Chains A and B, each alone.
Chain A
Amino acid sequence: MADIATKPLSLQDMILRLHAFWGEQGCLILQPYDMRMGAGTFHTATTLRALGPEPWNAAFVQPCRRPTDGRYGENPNRLQHYYQYQVILKPSPENLQELYLQSLVEIGIDPLVHDIRFVEDDWESPTLGAWGLGWEVWCDGMEVTQFTYFQQMGGFDCRPVAGELTYGLERLAMYIQGVDNVYDLAFNAPKGNRPGVSYGEVFLENEKQMSKWNFEVADTDSLFEGFRRAEEECRRSLDANVPIAAYEQAIEASHLFNLLQARGVISVQERASYMARVRDLARGSCEAYMAKFKDEWAAKYPEWAA
């Protein structure tokens, strides 16, 4: 604690602190899912593991892709690719709020200097057939974390309920470092005669090129074809009773849909129908996952079967 009072954490040190903290709390420290996705919630460690009665505690960084949020590197707050820090604890522990607040202290936020507030914000993902109650956590008026008690996933009641924390890493780091432009963030700290590297040095060029690709270059025929194939492959996987593989195809379809949106080739009317198709894939995968393990779980957790 002593050093952070004088020097704010770099982005990577912040992540390391969070890993150390949640690891101490008994969480698995997982790595990002190796697919393009719009939010950390899509990681199987969250979605699929929220299903069923088995305890599950994990923390991980997940890169998120939101093609329509790209601004060619010109907006200080908006990115088409950014990081979320996800924590999922099932069942939700009694002291989840306290643990979360401790984690903020760990990364250098003093709750007697900064105003931390839990402001009602219920979460819903129609795509995943999921919803929960919770808050957005404010730090001096800025939303830094989404805090949710999952009530349903894939259309199934969460029994038991999982608590999910999603930290916006860039935002938090900008706050801690007192930086107004995301590209000015210190990604790491200088060491000896080696200067620190900024977020812009790592990602600015990516943002420029990927914004251009998302909005202007990506071949829409391939994207449409990709969507169709993902949909088909999801169904084949469901038929073959490999729901995790099916779920991956749902993630793929979801991202391709987002790219098609960024390319502006999906009309308002079509939009609803594409969303419904993605939802059917995701829900179908969750259902198949449940069905596959239902008997095993019921045998192990009689109170769950009831």
Chain B
Amino acid sequence: MSAADFLLELRCEEIPARMQAGARADLEKLFRREMDAAGLKAGAITVWSTPRRLALIARDLPLATDAVSEEVKGPRTSAPEQALEGFLRKTGLAKDQLTERDGVWFAVTEKPGRATEDVLAAAIPAIIRAFPWPKSQRWGAASIATDALRWVRPLSGIVAILGEDLVECEVGGIRSGYATAGHRFHHHGEITIGGAHDYADKLRACHVIVDHAEREGMVREQAKAAAAAAGLVLVEDEGLVIENAGLTEWPVPLLGRFDEAFLDVPPEVIQLTARVNQKYFICVESSSPSKLGEDRKLANAFVCTANIAATDGGAAIVDGNRKVLAARLSDARFFWEQDKKKPLVQHAEKLGRITFHEKLGTVAQRQDRFVALVDAFQGQLADAVPAAKQAAAILKADLVTEMVGEFPELQGLMGGYYAQAENLPDAVVASVRDHYKPVGQADALPDEDAAVLAALVDKIDALVGFFGADLKPTGSKDPFALRRAALGVIRLVTEKGLRLSLGQLFDAAAQLYRQQGVEMESPSADLLAFFADRLKVQQREAGIRHDLIDAVFALGGEDDLVRLLARVHALQAFVGTEDGANLLAGYKRAANILKKEEANDQTAGAHGEGVVPPTGEEDPLVLVDDPAYRDIAAQFAHPERTLSYQPEPAEAALIAALDAAEPQAEQAVAAEDFTAAMAALASLRAPIDAFFDQVTVNDADANKRASRLGILSRFRAAVHKVADFARIEG
């Protein structure tokens, strides 16, 4: 069967640059779906985009679908008449239309192949109607109807050619044809396309580079070359390459210069102004490295990308763009100079007018809490407290500066620049600049200890405030970015190896809110549970099992993340060993037996009443209902030394092993040597296996039974000193 190449072009008014990559993928997906449904197998498929068109070329598309023969098996020829009648009814055939083979009736229907042209004529409107644009619109006279066609911007033309034949179709009043349009300004009138073979070349002749990748290459290379020709180095920016290629059909990068006087403005401001507002590349002096770095020196140059080969070589375009950039940079410089007229402390006075949250007071009150909360950090960060305290009082002052009002994404960074301009100490500058860090999992942490402290204070204050006001994240809603804040705290604490009690810090922060008249219960418990969840998500990438984190968190009272992770790491190593896996199995068996027993005890009623084990509490009843103490209670209730019978060897061996392992594990945990604690547990593995092999727990002698349950309970308690194995999966 013969095959031909198919060309589809959907032309419309300017497609937003950011949507073009998605549109290409969607066009290919929808086309493949239609072809698959028709049973057509195309060769290579190429998809291109420009601002004004989406194009698809499918190579070697068969000219017709295959004929198919469908066979339905019927009754045997020897079957009763009713069976045959039923089969004829079902298939809608007469008896002489059936085929007989080996004594069985078959109904055979031949479905002829369809012309691919017809398949395409139906597929094209279907693809257009189903196209999943992120935002689409109606237009023109047809939009009076409720079911008018939608497209990203008005659709203006369809080219659909199979081989050299037009695929005739129509959608929303637009009929397919051979004609397309060239460049908006360089070419007037229609271009007649012959087919997939001449499409790209004919467009190129009319100033349209239809292949987006080629345009991206042109922007990338020519922007670099324009900078090099001026003796500069382009600051590479792939996002800008794609965006400019998405805004042009004939990209022409042009270099322009701006007034050198603007270089007084911080380079980030210049870059942001050029990039976000104008989509320009910036350049650095050729002696600087081409990647953004501390030692680069920004040049007074920009590269804009025009969509025409201008008749004057681009002089007017460069001049116009220079003026626009100059107007924006003079705004920026005005802000920069205005802002520097006052020290940050004075800017900070205005924070009293900025609401942090209606339930949590103003940003000025926030800063007062920062200053006080800094004192709660002792230990490793003690030396950083004075600088962090000075920074805390002006941490958010840049929010009320003109520059941050204009460019909110520069918060922190501008504060750092203004602090530097006031000659504040380096550690203070760094704290103000870096206290938002880390902004995500990949963002760098601050270097200075004072900045680490400021970053922690900012995040902990927010977490405690919003949790205290019961404004926790729910589902996908996290309007105050508390998950990110918690992740930031986790990264700062664990990656810097900071030993601190989060619970104490949460309590201290809550107390500061109360002192300002914001009533709140301490949200510590809620927050620690929230942190456990965030830690699980964060550690998943490092390959740490979430159930092991649960197993350690479940012990309660652990709010030192460094110690907690050390224990989790040791536990993960241990459960991966044969000893670990077997001990876990032994633990689960013991726990099941005990659980059943404890359930029986409860249903048995009040028989335990009055038997209150000594717990070390002044009031012996205080812990009676605390499940965490049930094991201790059991231990004291069945003291092993008073066995009234001769224990079996495996029983005695387990008791001996427990006698040895318990203090070992306890000491190792106290010394934070979790590997040793695991080793102590490992020593129980053989004895517990032997115990289950050789000893009957459910002995007829109630005394023996109680005693053996007591030993299991002791075993469970010993394991729990290291981790709650009940939480471990497997």
Contact = CB atoms under 8 A, between A and B. Distances in A.
Q: Do A and B bind each other?
A: yes
Interface of A: 53, 77, 91-94, 97, 101, 110-120, 122, 132-135, 139-142, 149, 151, 157-161, 163, 175, 180, 268-269, 301, 303-304, 306
Contacts of B156: 94
B247 interface: yes
B154 A94 contact: yes
B325 A94 contact: no
Interface string B1-28: 0000000000001101110000000000
A159 B143 contact: yes
Nearest to A97: B13
Nearest to A110: B311
15 contacts: A94-B140, A110-B311, A113-B316, A115-B320, A118-B13, A120-B14, A132-B137, A133-B152, A141-B278, A149-B139, A159-B143, A175-B320, A180-B323, A268-B354, A304-B144
A140 B17 CA distance: 18
Nearest to B355: A268
A118 to B, nearest CB: 4
Contacts of A97: 13
B140 A161 contact: yes
B140 A140 contact: no
B145 interface: yes
The 4 A-B residue pairs with the shortest CB-CB distance, nearest first, are A140-B320, A120-B16, A118-B14, A141-B321
Contacts of A132: 137
Interface in B267-326: 278, 280, 304, 306-308, 310-312, 316-317, 319-321, 323-325
The secondary structure that dominates the B interface is: loop
A50 to B, nearest CB: 12
Interface of B: 13-14, 16-18, 51, 135-146, 152-154, 156, 184-186, 247-248, 278, 280, 304, 306-308, 310-312, 316-317, 319-321, 323-325, 327, 354-355, 358
Contact of A117 (B186, B307, B316, B323): B307
Given A91-B139, A120-B14, 13 more contacts: A77-B327, A91-B141, A92-B140, A101-B184, A111-B184, A113-B310, A117-B247, A120-B17, A133-B136, A141-B321, A151-B137, A160-B143, A306-B145
A26 to B, nearest CB: 15
Contact of B308 (A77, A112, A161, A306): A112
A115 B244 CA distance: 13
B144 A112 contact: no
Given A133-B153, A140-B324, A142-B324, A116 B143 contact: no
Given A113-B312, A119-B247, A133-B137, A159 B320 contact: no
A110 to B, nearest CB: 8
B516 to A, nearest CB: 19
Given A149-B137, A159-B146, A111 B325 contact: no
B304 A303 contact: no
B320 A114 contact: yes
B138 A140 contact: no
Contact of A303 (B136, B144, B355): B144
A114 B309 CA distance: 10
B188 to A, nearest CB: 10
Contacts of A133: 135-137, 152-153
A114 B143 contact: no
Nearest to A143: B324
A47 B667 CA distance: 79
A301 B320 contact: no
B320 A139 contact: yes
Of listed A119, A120, A158, A306, residue having the most chain B CB within 10 A: A120
